[in-house]
Structure 1
Amino acid sequence: MKTMKTAIILSLALASSLPIARAAEDRAFPVAPVKMVVPYPPGGTVDIVARLLAQAMAGRLGQPVTVDNKAGAGTLIGADFVAKSKPDGYTLLVAPNTTLTVAPNIYKKIPFRMEQLDPIGFIASNQFVITVNAKSPYASLQDLLDASRKDPERISYGSFGTGTITHLAGELMNQTAAVHMLHVPYKGAAPALTDLLGNNISMMFDAVPAAAIQVKSGSIRALAVTGKERSALLPNVLTVAEAGLPNYRVDGWIALVAPTGTPKHVRETLSKTLDAVSVDPVFQRQLRDSGLDPAVDRKVNVNAFIAEESQRFHRVAERAKLSLD
C-alpha cells in the first residue's frame, strides 16, 4: 500500500511538472534549423545578402540557418509563403524594398495582407546607378534628360521588370525632371544589360555592384548613382542630386521579416541576433566587398520608415497610373 501511495505521489508530481517543462520548451528558441526565404533566384544581390546573414546568424543562434529561394511574381511568391507560414520564428523572409514598399502600390491583388509580415530590422542597403553604352553620345545625366525633352520617348530606360524598384526609379525621374523616358521592362538585370550593350535601349538602372564591373571594364558608362551619397565602388560618379536633380533619391534596401504573430521572445532573440551581426566587422566587410552598405543604424523605426517609403512610391505609382493585376 505504501509503495502504491508513493507511486501515485510521484506520478502526480511528474504530471504537474509537465506543463512547466512544456512551457520552458516552448520558450526555447531556436531548437531546430531556421529557414530564410529569398524571393529571387540564386545569385542576385538579395540572395548574396541572405547567405552572408544566414552564416553569421547560425553561429550566434547555435542552429543551422538555411536559404530557400522562392522566386516569381515580383517577389510575391516568396513573400506569400512566409506570410502564411507558422509564426514561430523558423521561417523568415529576406525582403527587398520591392516587396514591402513597391508591390503594395502596384499590384491590384496581392495573395496576402501586408499586415501579415512583421519587419524585424534592416540588413543592408545598396544604390542603383544610371548607365549608358560606352559609345553613347550622352556623357552626363543632363545630356540624357535634355535629349528626352527635345524628343519625348526618344530616350528609353531598362528596368528589372514592370513593378520593380528600378521601374519606379525611372518613373520618379520622369516626374522629377519633367521628361518622358520610355520604360522597357526585362526579366532581370542581365537581359537589360545585353540590350544596353547592343544599343537597343538608351540607359538602364542597375545595382551598383553588378554595374561597377562593366564600368571598370569600359563597356558601359556610369552617369549618376541614385542614393544620397556617392558609392564607394564608383567614387567618381556623381549622385543624381549632384548631377542636377536635387530632389531625386532612390535607395535599395533589404530587411529581415517574420510572419506577424511571432512570439515576443522569439522576435526579441532574432532582433538581438541581427543587431549583433550588423555591427560585426567581418559581416560589414563582407557586405562592402559585395558593394553593399551595412544597415548599422539600429535606432531607425523600421515600420515608420517602410510606411513613409510606401507612401512615397504610392504617389509615384498614382501619378504614373501604374497598376498590375
Structure 2
Amino acid sequence: MSRWLLLAGMLLQSPVFAATYPERAVTLIEPLATRVEFGKSLAASAPKFLNQPVQIETRFGESGAVGAAAVRNARPDGYTLLLGRPASQFIRPAMAPETPYRWNDFTVLGVLEIDPLICAVKAESPYQTARDLLDAIRKNPGSLKYASVGVTTITHLGVQYMLHLAGARRDAAVGVHFENGQQAVQALLNDKVQFVCTVGGVIEPIKAGQLRGLFSTAPGRLPALPQLPNASEAGLRDMGRIVGWTALFGPRGLPADVVKRWRDVLSKVSRDPEWLASNERFGGLPAIRTMSDPEQFMRDQFALYDQLITTLDLAR
C-alpha cells in the first residue's frame, strides 16, 4: 500500500471524517404496558428531527425493571434507549434490593412529560372530598379498598403516603393490585374498590360523569379538569410531591455528542404540534422546555423516593 493510500485510510478513520450519529434506526425500550401509546407518540415525532427511524421495543415485567435492565446492559452508543418512569428508575430499585441496577446507572437525556396523580371515587360515592374519604378510612380501618398497578408504582406509594399524611395506618385501606391502569380504573367503575389514585386514566371517566375526582397532585389546576382541586387546595399539600413522569434515558457513559444530539432533538420535539396533542390526550404536562436541568431533577426524585420508602418502611 502506498503512503497516500495509507494516509487516506487514516484520515477516513479520524474524528473529522467520522459518521454523524445516528447512522441507523434507534430503539426505544418501553418497559411498561400502560405507556406503549405514549412511547409511540415519541417514536412518531422524533424522526422528523433525528433523520433516522425510531422504533419501539417492549420489554415488560417487574414494574419496568426488565426493560430498564436491558438498557443498563446495552452498549452506550445511543442506539438503545429507555422510556423510564418513577417505578422503573427509583421505586423498584429502592423497594427490591435484588434489582440489577441503581438509579444512577443511566444517562438522562430529558424529562418528556409530567403526569400528576389523580385520586377519584365513583360518581355515586358518598365521599365528596378527600377529607370525607380519609375520615371514613380512619373511622373504619380496613373497610375501604383502593386499586393500584403494583406495590412498586406511584399508584400504591401515593396512597400509602396519603394515609401517612392523614395519620392513618398503612393497612387502613386495602390495596388491590392489577396488571395495568385500565384494569384498576375498571375495578372502581365495577365497585370492586372504593377509590383509586392513578395517572391519566381517570380523566375521561371524570369528564363523562362516571367518576368524581377528589384532587390531583398538579402544581395548579389541570387544563383537562379545571374544576378539580389540587392537593394543596384539598388540604394535602405534601401530596404534590408525588407525580408521574416519563424521561428518556441511555446507558451510563453515553458519548457527549449523542447526549447533545438528543437534547437538541427533544427541544424541537417540544414544539411539535402532534407531540403536544399527544401529551394532552394522555393527560400529561409537557416538561421538555421547562426542565432546564434534568440531572438535578433525577437527583431530587431519588432523594424523594428514598426518603418516602424509608419513612413508610416499604423496602423488603
TM-score under structure 1 length normalisation:
0.90
Whether the 8 Å contact between 2:103 and 2:302 is mirrored in structure 1 is no
Q: CA, structure 1 residues 115+296, in 2 after alignment: closer, same or farther (shift >3 Å)?
A: closer
Q: Which residue of 2 aligns with 1:305?
A: 297
Unaligned runs of 5+ in 1: 1-7
Residue 236 of structure 2 is aligned to residue 241 of structure 1: no
The RMSD of aligned alpha carbons is 1.8
Larger CA deviation: 130-139 vs 75-84: 130-139
Whether the 8 Å contact between 1:105 and 1:317 is mirrored in structure 2 is yes
Q: CA, structure 1 residues 298+220, in 2 after alignment: closer, same or farther (shift >3 Å)?
A: closer
Spell out, residue by residue over 1:60-109, the C-alpha distance to the aligned partner (whole angstroms, 9 max, x if none): 11111111111111100110111111111111111112222222221111
- Partner SS state of residue 28, structure 2: strand
Q: Which residue of 2 aligns with 1:276?
A: 268
Matches within 5 A, 1:109-188: 109-180=98-169, 181-188=173-180
Distance 2:183 2:40 in 1: 24
Matches within 5 A, 1:76-87: 76-87=65-76
How many percent of aligned residue pairs carry the same amino acid? Answer: 27
Q: Which residue of 2 aligns with 1:287?
A: 279
Q: Which residue of 2 aligns with 1:321?
A: 313
User: Residue type matched to 2:231 in 1?
Assistant: V
Distance 1:114 1:311 in 2: 11
Q: Which residue of 2 aligns with 1:70?
A: 59
Distance 1:314 1:154 in 2: 29
User: Residue type matched to 2:118 in 1?
Assistant: V
Residue 8 of structure 2 is aligned to residue 17 of structure 1: yes
Q: CA, structure 1 residues 241+29, in 2 after alignment: closer, same or farther (shift >3 Å)?
A: same
* Deviation of 1:293 (Å): 1.4
Larger CA deviation: 281-290 vs 195-204: 281-290
Whether the 8 Å contact between 1:171 and 1:316 is mirrored in structure 2 is no
User: Residue type matched to 1:179 in 2?
Assistant: A
Distance 2:61 2:14 in 1: 39
User: Residue type matched to 1:95 in 2?
Assistant: G
Q: CA, structure 1 residues 115+299, in 2 after alignment: closer, same or farther (shift >3 Å)?
A: closer
Whether the 8 Å contact between 1:100 and 1:306 is mirrored in structure 2 is no
Larger CA deviation: 290-299 vs 48-57: 290-299
TM-score under structure 2 length normalisation:
0.92
- Partner SS state of residue 87, structure 1: coil
Residue 251 of structure 2 is aligned to residue 262 of structure 1: no
- Partner SS state of residue 206, structure 1: strand
* Deviation of 1:137 (Å): 1.3
Larger CA deviation: 211-220 vs 136-145: 211-220
The match for 1:34 among 18, 26, 40 is: 26
- Partner SS state of residue 125, structure 1: strand
Residue 96 of structure 2 is aligned to residue 96 of structure 1: no
Q: Which residue of 2 aligns with 1:5?
A: none
User: Residue type matched to 1:264 in 2?
Assistant: A
Q: Which residue of 2 aligns with 1:50?
A: 39
Distance 2:95 2:29 in 1: 22
Whether the 8 Å contact between 2:65 and 2:99 is mirrored in structure 1 is yes
* Deviation of 1:284 (Å): 2.0
The number of residues matched between the two structures is 311
Q: CA, structure 1 residues 201+150, in 2 after alignment: closer, same or farther (shift >3 Å)?
A: same
Distance 2:303 2:291 in 1: 21
User: Residue type matched to 1:55 in 2?
Assistant: A
User: Residue type matched to 1:308 in 2?
Assistant: D
Distance 2:190 2:279 in 1: 31
Unaligned runs of 5+ in 2: none
